[in-house]
């Protein structure tokens, strides 16, 4: 099958940091269909050769294991082309159209790895140049808008030009092998399903912690913040995967219908919940892995009086029969104590104690998403021979069943962007987000944005290298629970 993948923003950060390495990995793994072209598109004036040289130089900055040898790069580089396109100039789209028409590939993928403010204009221009043919797919990177209204405006324009089955909205968390394993755990095994409900589960915690700061994206991040950057999309998609009902099959719409129901069932915010159950924080200077790092307000591109949050912790509830009353805690932030994304499912303690168990001990399932990818099941067992002690033989200690997917399946597993790009080329929509899901997620976070706009106390400071403001621990402690690293 021949394909043309047109990468708008072809010289940008996302292209060289994530997309090119992912395409190269697919090429190396032999999964990139033969007969393809990858066409970088940007305003720069570059020849194919200059573009290849630029990408080659950038590969020096990606993970060593993912770096190509010179010979390998040359073979990959034969797929790379460059076309100068100014997104505001109709004649440039005409040139692109002429190039694509000449080749007449089976599939054409338009990947908009540009600022979202350009999406609407780009789609209209693509249509005007006759580039919205049935064999064309369009890929939109997050963030898709900055609130519900702007998200809708983008989606409406894109849908005027392309049908929903041509639109691939990326949330790269859905492409992570660990997140796919979450679906496999829930819907490929029958073991947990009877336990996956309010009667047995006390609370669920979703943590996406990063040790990095805002790096070179200060200006973008300062307009965005953790709620829009991580909660509205990645964290809520994880929550959907955890809370959704089993879909009737593995087709895209069956999965998306169930995720949508979860988003629609999220309990609406009350003024009291907004004041108590959402904590925002901003990192100040601190120490991360032995290195002194500056505070957020001193990062390049960030307003020195910025009120933007780099941390959010919140308590959500899902109002349906399966989950009523079970708190779902979501927490994400930059410059936290480590890079660690995990889901912790805390089961209810045994209903009647006949053993001596450590205080608060109960079963727990830890789903490690990154950097480790695996499952840990915490059980209580009688390990030591304690006949000499009082209550002989009756004291239990925690033990773990530990499953390491990297060890089990090897580290050559397909990465998130690699997987998603191949899915776009193959036309598989399962791991992409539908517009109604996105809108529902925006609808749910908007009251938080509104509340913060009117609350000038601003985000709570936390020292870089910690787990965020202590208010996040106080929030969960009100339910008599604690974050998994604290208990």
Is 373 a binding residue for ligand BG6 by CB under 6 A? The answer is: no
d(C-alpha 338, C-alpha 394), whole Å = 37
Say how many CA atoms lie within 13 Å of 296 toward its Cβ: 32
Q: Of 40 and 213, which CB lies nearer to ligand BG6 in the complex structure?
A: 213
Residues 51 to 80 in contact with ligand BG6, rule: CB under 6 A: none
Name the closest residue to ligand BG6 (Cβ). 229
Among 4, 92, 229, 277, binds ligand BG6 (CB under 6 A): 229
Backbone angles phi, psi at 442, to 5 degrees: -65, -40
Q: List, in order, residues 6 or more apart from 100 with CB less than 8 Å away.
A: 4, 6, 108, 131
What six digits make up the tokens of 178?
């660990």
Give the shortest CB-302-to-ligand BG6 separation in angstroms: 14
Give me the catalytic one of 81, 234, 368, 378.
234
d(C-alpha 137, C-alpha 322), whole Å = 37
Residues in the interface with ligand BG6 (CB under 6 A) total 2
Among 210, 340, 418, 437, binds ligand BG6 (CB under 6 A): 210
148 contacts 155 by C-beta, under 8 angstroms: no
Q: List, in order, residues 6 or more apart from 114 with CB less than 8 Å away.
A: 8, 9, 12, 87, 122, 141
Q: Of 161 and 422, which CB lies nearer to ligand BG6 in the complex structure?
A: 422
Q: Of 43 and 216, which CB lies nearer to ligand BG6 in the complex structure?
A: 216
Give the shortest CB-139-to-ligand BG6 separation in angstroms: 14
368 is catalytic: no
Give the shortest CB-173-to-ligand BG6 separation in angstroms: 7
234 contacts 171 by C-beta, under 8 angstroms: yes
Is 418 a binding residue for ligand BG6 by CB under 6 A? The answer is: no
**Strands 201-209 vs 278-284: parallel, antiparallel or unpaired:** unpaired
Give the shortest CB-289-to-ligand BG6 separation in angstroms: 16
Is 222 a binding residue for ligand BG6 by CB under 6 A? The answer is: no
**Strands 340-347 vs 328-333: parallel, antiparallel or unpaired:** unpaired
Containing H/E element for 43? none
Q: Of 172 and 186, which CB lies nearer to ligand BG6 in the complex structure?
A: 172
What six digits make up the tokens of 306?
């910025």
Give the shortest CB-101-to-ligand BG6 separation in angstroms: 34
* Residues classed as catalytic: 234
Binding site for ligand BG6 (CB under 6 A): 210, 229
């Amino acid at each position: 099958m021949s394909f043309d993948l047109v990468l708008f923003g072809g010289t940008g950060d996302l292209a060289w940091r994530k997309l090119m390495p992912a395409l190269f990995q697919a090429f190396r793994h032999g999964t990139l269909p033969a007969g393809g072209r990858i066409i970088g598109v940007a305003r720069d004036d570059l020849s194919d050769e200059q573009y290849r040289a630029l990408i080659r130089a950038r590969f020096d900055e990606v993970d060593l294991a993912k770096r190509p040898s010179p010979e390998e790069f040359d073979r990959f580089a034969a797929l790379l082309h460059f076309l100068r396109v100014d997104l505001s100039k109709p004649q440039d789209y005409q040139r692109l159209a002429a190039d694509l028409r000449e080749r007449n590939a089976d599939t054409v993928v338009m990947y908009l790895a540009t600022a979202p403010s350009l999406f609407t204009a780009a789609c209209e221009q693509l249509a005007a140049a006759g580039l919205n043919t049935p064999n064309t797919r369009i890929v939109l990177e997050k963030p898709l808008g900055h609130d519900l209204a702007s998200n809708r405006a983008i989606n409406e324009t894109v849908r005027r030009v392309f049908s929903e089955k041509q639109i691939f909205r990326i949330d790269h968390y859905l492409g992570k092998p660990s997140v796919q394993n979450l679906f496999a755990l829930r819907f490929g095994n029958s073991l947990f399903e009877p336990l996956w409900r309010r009667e047995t589960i006390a609370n669920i915690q979703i943590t996406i912690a990063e040790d990095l700061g805002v790096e070179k994206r200060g200006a973008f991040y300062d307009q965005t913040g953790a709620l829009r950057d991580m909660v509205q999309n990645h964290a809520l998609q994880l929550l959907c995967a955890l809370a959704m009902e089993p879909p009737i099959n593995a087709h895209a719409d069956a999965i998306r219908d169930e995720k949508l129901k979860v988003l629609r069932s999220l309990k609406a915010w009350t003024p009291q919940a907004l004041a108590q159950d959402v904590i925002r924080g901003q990192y100040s200077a601190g120490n991360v892995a032995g290195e002194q790092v500056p505070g957020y307000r001193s990062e390049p591109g960030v307003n020195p009086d910025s009120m933007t949050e780099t941390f959010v912790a919140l308590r959500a509830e899902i109002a349906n029969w399966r989950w009523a009353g079970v708190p779902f805690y979501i927490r994400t932030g930059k410059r936290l104590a480590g890079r660690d994304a995990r889901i912790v499912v805390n089961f209810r303690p045994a209903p009647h104690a006949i053993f001596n168990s450590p205080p608060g001990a109960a079963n727990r399932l830890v789903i490690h998403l990154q950097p480790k990818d695996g499952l840990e099941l915490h059980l209580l067992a009688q390990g030591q021979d304690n006949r000499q002690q009082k209550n002989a033989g009756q004291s239990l200690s925690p033990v773990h069943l530990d499953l390491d997917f990297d060890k089990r399946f090897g580290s050559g597993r397909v990465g998130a962007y690699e997987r998603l790009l191949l899915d776009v080329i193959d036309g598989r929509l399962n791991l992409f987000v539908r517009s109604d899901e996105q809108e529902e997620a925006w609808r749910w976070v908007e009251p938080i944005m509104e509340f913060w706009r009117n609350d000038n106390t601003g985000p709570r400071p936390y020292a870089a290298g910690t787990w965020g403001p202590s208010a996040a621990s106080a929030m969960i402690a009100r339910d008599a629970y604690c974050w998994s690293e604290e208990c």
